[in-house]
Amino acid sequence: PPFNDSIKQFTLFGGEKHKNRLKEYLEECRRNDPSFPSWESVTSNECFVDKYGFRYNKSNEYALIHYICQQISIFYKSQPKLKEANLWETRLREWKKSLDPSSEVKSMIRSGILPKYRSEFWKLCIYRQVGDIKKSKGPNYYQFLCNLSNDLPRDIIKFDHQIFLDLFRTLPNNVKFCSKYSQGINQLQEVLRAFCLYNPNIGYCQGMNFIVGIALLFLDPEDAFWCLVAITEKFFLAHYFDCGLVGAQSDQHCLKQLIELKLPDLHYHLKKLDIDISTITLNWFMALFFDALPFETMLRIWDCFLLE
Amino acid sequence: MSGKSYQFKIVLLGEGCVGKTSLMLRYVQDKFNDEHLSTIQAAFIKKKIRIGSNSVELAIWDTAGQEKYHALGPIYYRGSNGAFLVYDITDIDSFERIRKWVTELKTSLGDDCILCIVGNKSDLEKNRNVPIKEAEEYAKSVGAKHYSTSAKLNQGVNELFLDISKRMIEKFESSENLESINHQSGNSSNKRNTIQVVDDSVVQQEDKKSGCC
């Protein structure tokens, strides 16, 4: 009934009044940065595609408004940082030379990176972890693995089947990953296969598809491959994604112990309700918060995670 | 006996991409979406239904399919009253995987859990690779019931959930009766004994199996 709808709208967005304010903010953003979408372009088409390639259906107005609010928020928050653009470039350049980030650049990143430096920053983080492995494998190693993919050894075939099944179940709402002709789908398959060949003991584990999918939104396939190597071998221990997910399981135990220690109220509450928290938290670890948080929030977590 | 309310937990298990999430979403939201994500985080949805004058609240748990996640199974299936062991009728490997789950569930949950073996994707009948007779016979041999479904065409899905709900009610009522009989005869440890007998038989089965492997 319309009455209920208007209440819902009122409680969520404050009705037309707040919507109109949003429009004003959006126009202001557009005056400063013409690449901002207009209210009409977001809401009047059947389908709106955001800057990462995610599709929003017109029928899902909540998601659209959330997206607009988030972009406006990012815009205003990054205004002071824009003045520091030169500083960002200097700091990242310094990092490139010294391999390790200075405490200054660390605190800058912690407080939020300027989006246009994200790709470069991720690359610095990744090769800081796996630069030595990459070097030891020699030049064109990734290309070498890709060429092997045409004739896969038998123990890889079972992984390859699962990879194939997951290709279209990774970022189906993103235009780069939605059809078998999409570039993202081919790259995703290429990277996951190459990883199986690189480390047949781990092979493919569901969850990697999300990690690589997100990496490919910011990196080219070779960097995304090394990103996966860094995550599976450096950020996590080697047995994290093994056949029994031993590492992932022990992390869940650690988390539970930490909760008991640091958040005893939560611990007893969960205990009383007989809830095993790993039923909620497993993918916070296995897929680094993918689908557990709004996309932009997840990116901030990735920034901090990769930095450590 | 009228107007009772029950709470049951059902878990969906099976190989990756057999349609566990689709079955759940078809039943709870009556939707079929080609665009959902591969499940790694088990999802959980509640649904209330009425059966006769009784109300039943189902807590449905969806799980990750890849073999690597098998070890995490107990987190999700513990305390389940019913389990759907789902395979894809076009994929014989997915059917083989069911056997593992059956053995494991029988060992950990005994006979407390109602097992349903579900051949999904019946819309792809022309590509069938799992002979229906073999599946039905296997189900019978392990004391489970066999169902054919298509989450895509919405065939057999409601029937599946309704049937398991009825069977879970029956099971619950008969174990309640058993308990009250035990209580009356003053033999409160009787039920425990029964469960131990079940465990023994399962262990024996396991021994046989490992013997032939």
pLDDT at A2 over 80: no
- What average pLDDT score do residues A269-286 get? 92
Q: How much is the mean pLDDT over chain A?
A: 89
Which range has the worst mean pLDDT, A13-22, A27-36, A165-174, B143-152?
A: A13-22
Structural domains of chain A, count? 2
Mean pLDDT of B130-154: 96
Does residue A119 sit within a domain? yes
Please check whether residue A258 lies inside any domain of the structure.
no
Q: Are residues A288 and A225 in the same domain?
A: yes
Q: Tell me the CATH number at A190.
A: 1.10.8.270
Whether the predicted pLDDT of A160 surpasses 70: yes
Full domain range(s) for residue B17:
5-202
| ipTM value > 0.85 | no
Structural domain contains residue A76: yes
Q: Indicate yes or no: CB of A279 within 8 angstroms of CB of B71.
A: no
Identify the CA nearest to B93 among candidates B39, B16, B36, B206. B16
Bridge-partner residues for B60, per DSSP?
B10, B45
Domain membership flag for residue B208 = no
Q: Is the pLDDT higher at A256 or at A152? A: A256
Average pLDDT, chain B: 84
Are A140 and A221 in the same domain?
A: yes
A114 shares a domain with A70: no
- Would B32 be classed as within a structural domain? yes
Where does residue B58 rank: exposed (0-12), middle (13-18), buried (19+ CB within 10 A)? buried
Q: Which residues contact A45 (CB under 8 A, 6 or more apart)?
A: A58
In a domain, A123, yes or no: yes
Q: How far apart are CA A163 and CA A277, in angstroms?
A: 28
Q: Are residues A168 and A50 in the same domain?
A: no
Q: Is there a domain that residue B213 lies in? A: no
- Residue A33 is assigned to a structural domain of this protein: yes
pLDDT digits (tens, 9 = 90+) for A176-194: 998 888 999 999 999 999 9
B43-51 vs B54-62, strand pairing mode: antiparallel
Question: Strand B5-13 to strand B43-51: parallel, antiparallel, or no bridges (unpaired)?
Answer: unpaired
Candidates A164, A170, A234, A144; CA nearest to A204 is: A164
Whether A146 and A239 map to the same domain: the answer is yes
Residue-wise pLDDT tens digits, B13-72: 999 889 999 999 999 999 888 777 888 777 889 999 999 999 999 999 999 888 889 999
User: Is B68 within 8 Å of A210 when comparing Cβ atoms?
Assistant: no
Percent of chain B surpassing pLDDT 70: 84
The confidence score (pLDDT) of residue B184 equals: 61
Does residue A254 fall inside a structural domain?
Answer: no
User: Is residue B138, in this structure, part of any structural domain at all?
Assistant: yes
CATH number at B171 reads: 3.40.50.300
pLDDT in tens, A226-266: 999 999 999 998 789 988 899 999 999 999 999 999 999 99
Domain range enclosing A66 = 15-81
A144 lies in the same domain as A46: no
Q: How do strand B82-88 and strand B5-13 relate by DSSP bridges?
A: parallel
Look at residue B209 and tell me if it is in a domain. no
B40·A169 Cβ contact <8 A? no
B212 in any annotated domain: no
Last residue of a domain, one of A50, A81, A112: A81
| Mutate: best of A56, A157, A161, A162, partner B, most B CBs <10 A | A162
Question: What's the confidence (pLDDT) of residue A35?
Answer: 82
Residue B28 neighbours by CB distance under 10 Å: 14
Q: Is residue A240 part of a domain?
A: yes
A137 and A237 both lie in a single domain: yes
Q: Is residue A59 part of a domain?
A: yes
- Range with the poorest average pLDDT among A1-15, A216-230, B75-89: A1-15
Question: A299 and A158 share a domain?
Answer: yes
Chain B positions touching A249 (Cβ under 8 A) are: 71-72
Domain count, chain B: 1
Judged by average pLDDT, the poorest of A132-136, A273-277, B22-26, B30-34 is: B30-34
